[in-house]
Amino acid sequence: MAAGARYSGVMAAFPEGSPKPLERLASDGFRIEGPACDPERAWSLIGDTDWLNRQSGAGAVVRLDVETQGDGIPLLRGEVVGPLGMKLHFLEIWSSWVSGRFFRQVRDLESPVVQRSDYRAELIPVPGSALVKPVIEMSLTGPGWASTVRRGLSLSRMKRSWEQSLARLGLPAEDEDPPRDLGPEAAAAVRRWQEAADPAIVRRFEHHFRTARPNDLARLRAFELADRWALPRDAVLDALLSAVGFGAVELFWSVRCVRCYGQVGGGRLLSDLADHADCAGCKVRTEVDLGTNVEVLFAPHPSVAARLDANFCTIYPKNAPAQIAVLTLSPGQRVSAPVHLAPGAWRFGPGNGQPDMEVEAGDSGADTLVFDPARRPAQVKSGSVLLDVTNETPDRQRVFLTRHGGATAIVPASLLTTKEAFRRQLSHQVLAPDLRVGVRSVALVFTDLSGSTAMYEELGDAAAFAIVRDHFIVLRAAAARHGGTVVKTIGDAVMAAFYDAPSAASAAFDMLAEFDTWMAKQDLDHPPRLKVGLHVGPALVVHSDQSGLDYFGGTVNLAARAQGAAEAGEIVWTDAVHAQERVRAVLADRGYGAESIEKTLKGIGEVRLWRAVRAVGAG
């Protein structure tokens, strides 16, 4: 607290540093406790200060920008809507947290009455149980003459509303938040949506729109919600895709920092993407890759809920689920803080362009994780681990402990862009014409007709062309059933894209079988046969006037060459496909084995390929 402060909280032993105090000013504050409850539920509330502020009328965030300060620590500038609808500018100068344990957030405001707010929250374990008791402290600092105004206008209302919010933790979860009404336009959009999609899924979303907190609505993650509601992931994603066309939700492309996994770029259209994005906090340049760092997000249409359009790494724990601990330390300060580490890979470091310490949590290892500026890898035992961090620099330091790969189930852009529903419903979503972005892995299937010349001679051009055209419909349907899409047709040939090799292999077998069944009904003397080739690997995603989104590079060439190496009625694939155990399981489930063949491919040279052969004893 500042010199002359009249309020003193009880959490002075918080394991983190403090910003430089404001001199010759007075502080007013309060301390409140909530009921004993489940730790995850309590953390979801006290780690979401935006929701608490909205509840009290003390400042919903309406604008947020991030910039890097001289010491490399990000400074957040924003606006909140304060009492009586006034917009207040703020600087977020300090924050620290350990997920599920404590959170502190300090903001300086441009106000004659309140010049600093200091929010502190902690979950106190209840002895003899798995429950915790949430405790919140809040102090507002400003001129002494304004103490009465702060207490009357801000603190008393904030305290009452936050007490009411904490009290809800003692209610059943479904009664925690009072429902909001949907306006006529939003309700009509939901009704139209329900007629076209799974009604049960739409009802879940309607309930979510009415009851979820603003932060939960701002980013609708299809797979995360599907897992929470115990629904099939593909069904939820397909439902959200259909909702876009009915004006119930909007789709966004979010470029995520490869270090902190926060949003650092993106937009409503694929054409809004650039080939890279910079994270001001981590000082990391992220090369845009549709498979690794572009996430598909949804949000309610503005008629359902207003949305905060802002790009930033982190602001509070709710928006940084991958970061289990963020500690801001004063010069020379040492912090010891317990965390819970799940098994897996973690990163531990200060960002700001410096390399991270790699940490592996497993069945054995140390129970203390000491931050080592030399960045040596560390092995710790998963579960309760004590963080031991010393800031040996002359400046303050911000240290992050981040789960490698992120902590949420995301929908990668490469998955959505290989779905037939995306091509059909959102064909306007294309890259800028001069943009080339990567995708680390895409599975491609090429098909071609063998014997089509004889068919043209038998039927004539018009009738034969109709057969070719209709066979595209058969192949497109088979690809769509396995989550893929036909990217383009080239003469008699088809190029289809899939998110992964097992899906592509399953589709290839169905393409071949269903084509043969369909062709048998055409009653031709010289029916053509299908030749199929598969390959998986990295590619460039480009704009195409014919296809919208197209693929370019060596992976495309090799997939096409694999198809060229196939005989009539045969499926051929590459080593990269065959190396995947799930692909070999697809073969076994369908009664096939694999036989290796050596082929010299034009422009590539001699390679080993594989072709499907009936397993011994298969029907």
Structural domains of the chain, count: 4
- Residue 608 sits in a domain whose CATH number is 3.30.70.1230
Last residue in a domain, options 110, 141, 175: 175
**Residue range 448-491, pLDDT digits in tens:** 999 888 888 888 889 889 999 999 999 999 999 999 999 999 98
pLDDT of residue 2: 38
How many other C-beta atoms are found inside a 10 Å radius of the C-beta of residue 364? 8
Q: What percent of the chain has pLDDT over 70?
A: 91
Distance CA 402, CA 422 (A): 32
Which of 364, 368, 360, 362 is closest to 390 using CA atoms? 368
Name the maximum alpha-carbon separation found in the chain.
Answer: 99
- Residue 80 sits in a domain whose CATH number is 3.30.530.20
Do 286 and 193 belong to one domain?
A: yes
Do 66 and 86 belong to one domain?
A: yes
Do 290 and 227 belong to one domain?
A: yes
pLDDT of residue 199: 93
Do 213 and 193 belong to one domain?
A: yes
What is the average pLDDT across 302-314?
A: 57
Last residue in a domain, options 293, 316, 339: 316
Q: Which residue has the higher pLDDT, 278 or 581?
A: 581
Do 234 and 124 belong to one domain?
A: no
Do 609 and 518 belong to one domain?
A: yes
Mean pLDDT of the chain, nearest integer: 86
pLDDT of residue 366: 93
CB 326 within 8 A of CB 400: yes
Q: Does 56 have pLDDT greater than 70?
A: no
Q: What percent of the chain has pLDDT over 90?
A: 44
CB 51 within 8 A of CB 139: no
What is the average pLDDT across 68-97?
A: 76
Distance CA 242, CA 234 (A): 12
Reduce the secondary structure of 162-212 to three states and give it as a string.
HHHHHHHHHCCHHHCCCCCCCCHHHHHHHHHHHHHCCHHHHHHHHHHHHHC
Last residue in a domain, options 271, 296, 316: 316
**Residue range 409-447, pLDDT digits in tens:** 899 999 999 999 898 888 888 888 888 899 999 999 999
Domain span including residue 395: 323-403
Q: Does 4 have pLDDT greater than 60?
A: no
Q: How far is CA 224 from the centre of its chain?
A: 9
When mean pLDDT is compared over 113-117, 255-259, 336-340, 513-517, the highest value belongs to 513-517
Q: Confidence band (pLDDT; 50, 70, 90) for 575? A: very high
DSSP state of 57: T
**Residue range 329-380, pLDDT digits in tens:** 888 888 888 899 999 999 998 877 788 899 999 999 999 999 887 777 899 9
Q: Does 187 have pLDDT greater than 80?
A: yes
Do 446 and 592 belong to one domain?
A: yes
CB 530 within 8 A of CB 447: yes
pLDDT of residue 351: 77
Helix (H) / strand (E) element for 62: namely strand 60-68
Distance CA 615, CA 603 (A): 33
What is the average pLDDT across 236-249?
A: 92
Do 478 and 601 belong to one domain?
A: yes
